[in-house]
Amino acid sequence: MGGAVSAGEDNDELIDNLKEAQYIRTELVEQAFRAIDRADYYLEEFKDNAYKDLAWKHGNIHLSAPCIYSEVMEALDLQPGLSFLNLGSGTGYLSSMVGLILGPFGVNHGVELHSDVIEYAKQKLDFFIKTSDSFDKFEFCEPSFVTGNCLEISPDCTQYDRVYCGAGVQKEHEDYMKNLLKVGGILVMPLEEKLTKITRTGPSAWETKKILAVSFAPLIQPNHADSGKSRLVHLPPVAVRSLQDLARIAIRGTIKKIIHQETMSKTGNGLKNPPRFKRRRVRRRRMETIVFLDKEVFASRISNPSDDNNNSEDIEDERREEEETKPSELKPDPPVNFLREKVLSLPLPDPLKYYLLYYREK
């Protein structure tokens, strides 16, 4: 699945393309997508494909196409403080983006069939928390993952405000999925080859909306051949935040407000420098001809007499563009993590500073 938008050179350009194509439509979803680099969830040898609008699978590791994740995030209508259940949580990429919106008082649970994928997801989550400056721009609802088949969730589990299933759901399991929702909740899942949004409007009332045609691998059915018994999946308990955690959240929130006020008083509008947008170069391409002959395909490149001139013009245009933009495109200073700087400047013991910074490496 995927291929609905052009590939980007980096994560921001991919998001720009998703916005332009109206897959990303709200500011909250845009912020979450920009905060987490999709390439960080790829194995090193496959990162060249990270910014293409394509699904990726390697062994049990799987990522849906960016356009699919965009539609899912928009359809879920996420808000701070909600509870979220991700069925087939995979790499944790989607769960982490959701966690940025849910905030510190949300609930963020995932169920994944393969234990090796859960280990991979935990490594990627740890990497994001410890190394990404984006982490300090949000208050994060950290996802918790459990191993098991999402069709065997214990019947006494709590219901959720938002549920997403990342595999094709057979019609006979539709009611099972609906029962995971609270009244007023939203379920998004692939059902009968359509990405479907179901809203629970009452104890036995539902609204259904088909979003777009998709092709997902079907849910794996439980296998009881070994023991003959169901292996119930017990979801994590909804934990109450410790007083220590609440204090950290409150202190970080207060520092962020102070930084915002200081920035506003210095600049008047809260922006020190307007963001710079990369200019895309339009390059002329040679004409290609594809010939179909008796079920064989032959591709040939036809030379155009003006190609050489065009190439010269391209080089001249690029040189001129580089000269025009050179002053503003000198290596920009890396963005400053003001929260980190402010915490480190406080007259506090080092262990407390490190606690406020989640023991982050950067």
Q: Name the catalytic one among 6, 64, 89, 306.
A: 64
- The pLDDT tens digits of the residues spanning 22-39 come to 999 999 999 999 999 999
Secondary structure class of 2 (helix, strand, coil)? strand
Summarize the confidence of residues 245-257 as an average pLDDT: 94
The residue that leads in pLDDT, 317 or 50, is: 50
pLDDT score for 362: 62
Query: To the nearest whole number, what is the mean pLDDT of the chain?
Result: 85
* Partners of residue 189 on adjacent β-strands: 196
- In order of 279, 280, 308, 325, 330, the CA distances from 321 in angstroms are 10, 11, 20, 6, 14
Contacts 24+ apart (CB under 8 A), 213-217: 214/1, 214/68, 214/190, 215/1, 216/1, 216/166, 216/167, 216/168, 216/190, 217/167, 217/168
Mean pLDDT, residues 77-99 taken together: 97
Mark 299-321 as b/e (b = at least 16 C-beta within 10 Å): eeeeeeeeeeeeeeeeeeeeeee
User: Rounded to whole angstroms, how far apart are CA atoms 154 and 229?
Assistant: 13
Mean pLDDT of 220-245: 82
Which value, to the nearest 10 degrees, does the dihedral of the CA atoms of residues 237, 225, 63, 49 take? 150
CA–CA–CA angle 86, 198, 144 (5° rounding) = 15
* Closest to 150 in 3D by CA, of 227, 58, 87: 87
Q: What is the pLDDT of residue 329?
A: 52
With a cut of 80, say whether residue 189 has pLDDT above it.
Answer: yes
Tell me the sheet residues that pair with 191: 169, 194
300 beta partners = 289
pTM, full prediction: 0.80
- Looking at the DSSP assignment, which residues form a beta bridge with residue 85? 109, 163
Greatest mean pLDDT range, 5-9, 81-85, 255-259: 81-85
CB–CB of 104/139 below 8 Å? yes
Mean pLDDT, residues 249-254: 94
Fold annotation for 11-222+232-239: Rossmann fold (3.40.50)
What is the rounded average pLDDT of the residues 68-78? Answer: 97
Top-confidence residue, 85 or 262: 85
* Percent of the chain residues past pLDDT 70, beyond the cut: 78
User: What is the per-residue pLDDT across 135-168, written as a single tens digit (0 to 9) for each?
Assistant: 999 999 999 999 999 999 999 899 999 999 999 9
Rounded Cα–Cα distance for residues 305 and 282 (Å): 20
Calculated CA dihedral for residues 218, 98, 247, 339, nearest 10 degrees:
140
> Of 146-150, 249-253, 280-284, 313-317, which range is least confident?
280-284
Q: Is 115 helix (H, G, I), strand (E, B) or coil?
A: helix
**Chain CA centroid to CA 164, Å:** 13
Q: Grade residue 290 by pLDDT with cuts at 50, 70 and 90.
A: very low
pLDDT at 118 over 50: yes
- Which is nearest to 235 in space by CA: 157, 180, 163? 157
> What is the enclosing helix (H) or strand (E) of 281?
none
Amino acid in position 37: D
- pLDDT at position 267: 77
Q: Which residue ranges make up each domain of the chain?
A: 11-222+232-239, 241-263+337-361
- Comparing 223 with 330, the larger pLDDT belongs to 223
The more confident residue out of 9 and 313 is 9
Has 64 been annotated as catalytic?
yes
